[in-house]
Amino acid sequence: MIDTVGLECSSYAPLPAKFEAGTPNVAGVIGLGAALGWIEGIGRATIAAHEKALVEYAVQRLSALEGVSVVGAPAERAGVVSFVMDGVHPHDIGTILDEYGIAIRGGHHCAQPLMARLGVVATARASFGAYSTSEEVDALVDGLHAVRRVFPL
């Protein structure tokens, strides 16, 4: 990235070289190749179908819980489900679920204008991927029962 370096002044290489300092992320490239191989081995269509079924199952299970509301009803969902629980801040949901080994995201998800439009301060968000299982959805629901024991309706 440097053309010349002196005690009183330095000059930079021309674009784009002046922004290319450091060692390339060789390990990251190798890891990306392995991840792409894994995805292609399963098949993108298979992964998409699995995630779709899992998200539908999660929406069904979460919607059946008293005091839990799934946020949004898009025609097609990605592998995430956002929800709120009456009387419980999403950070509290996340903290309690963590005690059961269940990881979710709680917060405004860098979407504060959307949260304001929805009339909520934050949401809890569960994410699902090719590696996720219906048993993990069941564990999430069981964990939410534990949250409700701490924060009864």
Q: Is there a contact between 130 and 47 (Cβ–Cβ < 8 Å)?
A: yes
d(CA 129, CA 100): 20
Taking the C-alpha atoms of residue 149 and residue 99, their distance in angstroms, rounded to an integer, is: 14
- Nearest 5°: the CA angle 50, 54, 60 is 150
Per annotation, catalytic residue among 5, 64, 110, 153: 110
Judge whether 9 counts as a catalytic residue. no
Active centre residues (catalytic): 110
